[in-house]
Amino acid sequence: MCEINWDLTIKALGVLATLLVAVLLYFFTKRNMRNETIERISRFRNEKLMEAGMAFWALLAYITPTENNHSIIVWTQKKGRTEKEYFFQPFLAGEFIRKLNEVNYEKGFGLFLSKSTRDLFYEYRNIVYGILLAEKNNTNEKILLSNDEMVKKMFDLYCKMVVELRKEVGPV
Protein backbone atom coordinates (compact mmCIF):
# COMPACT_ATOMS: atom_id res chain seq x y z
CA MET A 1 0.00 0.00 0.00
CA CYS A 2 1.06 3.51 -0.78
CA GLU A 3 1.67 5.85 2.04
CA ILE A 4 0.60 9.52 1.64
CA ASN A 5 3.08 12.11 2.72
CA TRP A 6 0.71 14.67 4.19
CA ASP A 7 3.35 17.37 4.67
CA LEU A 8 4.28 17.24 1.01
CA THR A 9 0.62 17.15 -0.07
CA ILE A 10 -0.26 20.18 2.05
CA LYS A 11 2.75 22.10 0.72
CA ALA A 12 1.83 21.19 -2.87
CA LEU A 13 -1.77 22.32 -2.34
CA GLY A 14 -0.50 25.54 -0.76
CA VAL A 15 1.73 26.23 -3.79
CA LEU A 16 -1.17 25.47 -6.18
CA ALA A 17 -3.49 27.75 -4.21
CA THR A 18 -0.88 30.52 -4.26
CA LEU A 19 -0.41 30.11 -8.01
CA LEU A 20 -4.18 30.15 -8.57
CA VAL A 21 -4.54 33.33 -6.51
CA ALA A 22 -1.61 34.92 -8.38
CA VAL A 23 -3.11 34.06 -11.80
CA LEU A 24 -6.56 35.31 -10.79
CA LEU A 25 -5.04 38.48 -9.34
CA TYR A 26 -3.07 39.02 -12.58
CA PHE A 27 -6.18 38.75 -14.77
CA PHE A 28 -8.28 40.86 -12.40
CA THR A 29 -5.59 43.58 -12.33
CA LYS A 30 -5.16 43.44 -16.11
CA ARG A 31 -8.91 43.83 -16.63
CA ASN A 32 -9.08 46.77 -14.20
CA MET A 33 -6.10 48.48 -15.83
CA ARG A 34 -7.72 48.05 -19.25
CA ASN A 35 -10.98 49.53 -17.97
CA GLU A 36 -9.12 52.43 -16.36
CA THR A 37 -7.23 53.08 -19.60
CA ILE A 38 -10.44 53.06 -21.61
CA GLU A 39 -12.00 55.42 -19.06
CA ARG A 40 -9.00 57.78 -19.19
CA ILE A 41 -9.09 57.85 -22.99
CA SER A 42 -12.83 58.51 -22.93
CA ARG A 43 -12.41 61.29 -20.37
CA PHE A 44 -9.58 62.85 -22.43
CA ARG A 45 -11.70 62.71 -25.60
CA ASN A 46 -14.69 64.28 -23.81
CA GLU A 47 -12.49 67.07 -22.42
CA LYS A 48 -11.08 67.78 -25.88
CA LEU A 49 -14.56 67.69 -27.38
CA MET A 50 -15.68 70.26 -24.80
CA GLU A 51 -12.63 72.45 -25.56
CA ALA A 52 -13.33 72.11 -29.29
CA GLY A 53 -16.97 73.02 -28.77
CA MET A 54 -15.99 76.08 -26.75
CA ALA A 55 -13.41 77.17 -29.35
CA PHE A 56 -15.87 76.82 -32.23
CA TRP A 57 -18.60 78.44 -30.11
CA ALA A 58 -16.36 81.50 -29.69
CA LEU A 59 -16.28 81.81 -33.49
CA LEU A 60 -20.04 82.26 -33.50
CA ALA A 61 -19.50 85.76 -32.11
CA TYR A 62 -18.34 86.76 -35.61
CA ILE A 63 -21.41 85.44 -37.37
CA THR A 64 -24.29 85.94 -34.96
CA PRO A 65 -27.26 88.02 -36.12
CA THR A 66 -27.02 89.84 -32.78
CA GLU A 67 -24.51 92.62 -33.25
CA ASN A 68 -21.38 92.73 -31.11
CA ASN A 69 -17.78 93.94 -31.44
CA HIS A 70 -16.90 90.94 -33.63
CA SER A 71 -19.91 90.88 -35.98
CA ILE A 72 -19.01 90.41 -39.62
CA ILE A 73 -22.48 91.60 -40.61
CA VAL A 74 -24.10 94.66 -39.05
CA TRP A 75 -27.37 96.23 -40.02
CA THR A 76 -29.31 99.45 -39.90
CA GLN A 77 -32.99 100.13 -40.20
CA LYS A 78 -34.26 103.52 -41.26
CA LYS A 79 -37.16 105.07 -39.37
CA GLY A 80 -40.54 104.07 -40.68
CA ARG A 81 -39.14 101.24 -42.82
CA THR A 82 -39.38 97.53 -42.17
CA GLU A 83 -36.47 96.34 -44.27
CA LYS A 84 -32.92 96.38 -42.98
CA GLU A 85 -29.70 97.25 -44.74
CA TYR A 86 -26.91 94.79 -44.07
CA PHE A 87 -23.25 95.77 -44.11
CA PHE A 88 -20.22 93.50 -44.34
CA GLN A 89 -17.07 94.28 -42.34
CA PRO A 90 -14.06 92.93 -44.29
CA PHE A 91 -11.52 93.31 -41.48
CA LEU A 92 -13.58 91.19 -39.09
CA ALA A 93 -14.31 88.71 -41.88
CA GLY A 94 -10.58 88.19 -42.38
CA GLU A 95 -10.15 87.80 -38.64
CA PHE A 96 -12.92 85.16 -38.60
CA ILE A 97 -11.23 83.16 -41.37
CA ARG A 98 -7.86 83.30 -39.59
CA LYS A 99 -9.36 82.18 -36.28
CA LEU A 100 -11.35 79.40 -37.94
CA ASN A 101 -8.15 78.01 -39.43
CA GLU A 102 -6.37 78.38 -36.10
CA VAL A 103 -9.11 76.57 -34.16
CA ASN A 104 -9.63 73.84 -36.74
CA TYR A 105 -6.05 73.13 -37.79
CA GLU A 106 -3.43 74.70 -35.51
CA LYS A 107 -5.16 73.77 -32.26
CA GLY A 108 -6.46 70.55 -33.81
CA PHE A 109 -10.01 70.96 -32.54
CA GLY A 110 -11.38 70.05 -35.95
CA LEU A 111 -10.47 66.43 -35.11
CA PHE A 112 -13.07 66.32 -32.38
CA LEU A 113 -16.10 67.66 -34.25
CA SER A 114 -18.21 65.81 -36.77
CA LYS A 115 -17.73 66.45 -40.46
CA SER A 116 -21.23 67.92 -40.73
CA THR A 117 -20.48 70.57 -38.09
CA ARG A 118 -17.14 71.48 -39.67
CA ASP A 119 -18.79 71.61 -43.08
CA LEU A 120 -21.28 74.21 -41.83
CA PHE A 121 -18.43 76.43 -40.63
CA TYR A 122 -16.60 76.05 -43.92
CA GLU A 123 -19.72 76.68 -45.97
CA TYR A 124 -20.07 79.97 -44.09
CA ARG A 125 -16.36 80.64 -44.55
CA ASN A 126 -16.72 80.11 -48.33
CA ILE A 127 -19.49 82.71 -48.50
CA VAL A 128 -17.38 85.17 -46.50
CA TYR A 129 -14.33 84.48 -48.65
CA GLY A 130 -16.41 84.97 -51.80
CA ILE A 131 -17.54 88.39 -50.58
CA LEU A 132 -13.94 89.30 -49.71
CA LEU A 133 -12.79 88.31 -53.21
CA ALA A 134 -15.64 90.17 -54.89
CA GLU A 135 -14.91 93.30 -52.85
CA LYS A 136 -11.09 93.07 -52.74
CA ASN A 137 -10.69 96.52 -54.32
CA ASN A 138 -13.20 98.12 -51.94
CA THR A 139 -11.39 99.93 -49.12
CA ASN A 140 -14.47 100.86 -47.08
CA GLU A 141 -14.74 99.62 -43.50
CA LYS A 142 -18.32 98.53 -44.20
CA ILE A 143 -19.68 97.25 -47.49
CA LEU A 144 -23.39 97.27 -48.27
CA LEU A 145 -24.70 93.78 -49.01
CA SER A 146 -27.36 93.95 -51.68
CA ASN A 147 -28.10 90.21 -51.86
CA ASP A 148 -30.71 89.63 -49.12
CA GLU A 149 -30.91 85.92 -49.96
CA MET A 150 -27.21 85.51 -49.21
CA VAL A 151 -27.59 87.31 -45.89
CA LYS A 152 -30.54 85.07 -45.03
CA LYS A 153 -28.49 81.99 -45.92
CA MET A 154 -25.65 83.20 -43.69
CA PHE A 155 -27.99 83.64 -40.74
CA ASP A 156 -29.60 80.25 -41.43
CA LEU A 157 -26.15 78.66 -41.39
CA TYR A 158 -25.49 80.35 -38.05
CA CYS A 159 -28.67 78.80 -36.61
CA LYS A 160 -27.67 75.36 -37.91
CA MET A 161 -24.19 75.73 -36.40
CA VAL A 162 -25.65 76.53 -32.99
CA VAL A 163 -27.84 73.42 -33.10
CA GLU A 164 -25.01 71.18 -34.33
CA LEU A 165 -22.53 72.44 -31.73
CA ARG A 166 -25.04 71.84 -28.95
CA LYS A 167 -25.55 68.29 -30.25
CA GLU A 168 -21.78 67.71 -30.43
CA VAL A 169 -21.02 68.84 -26.91
CA GLY A 170 -24.16 67.39 -25.41
CA PRO A 171 -26.10 68.66 -22.44
CA VAL A 172 -24.05 70.90 -20.20
Residues found in the chain = 172
pLDDT tens column, 26-49: 888 888 888 888 899 999 988 998
Task: Supply the range of the domain harboring residue 86.
Answer: 47-169
pLDDT tens column, 49-61: 899 999 999 999 9
Task: Give me the sheet containing 73-76, strands edge to edge.
Answer: 73-76, 85-88, 143-145
Kindly state whether residue 114 falls inside one of the protein's structural domains: yes
Higher-scoring residue by pLDDT: 82, 115: 115
pLDDT score, position 82: 81
Q: Angle CA(142)–CA(147)–CA(152) in degrees, nearest 5?
A: 95
pLDDT score, position 172: 56
Kindly state whether residue 118 falls inside one of the protein's structural domains: yes
User: What single letter denotes the amino acid at residue 36?
Assistant: E
Kindly state whether residue 96 falls inside one of the protein's structural domains: yes
Kindly state whether residue 17 falls inside one of the protein's structural domains: no
What number is the average pLDDT over the span 78-95? 90
Domains contained in the chain, number = 1
Kindly state whether residue 2 falls inside one of the protein's structural domains: no
Kindly state whether residue 21 falls inside one of the protein's structural domains: no
Kindly state whether residue 133 falls inside one of the protein's structural domains: yes
pTM score, whole prediction: 0.76
pLDDT tens column, 98-155: 999 999 999 999 998 899 999 999 999 999 999 999 999 999 999 999 999 999 999 9
Kindly state whether residue 141 falls inside one of the protein's structural domains: yes
pLDDT score, position 9: 80
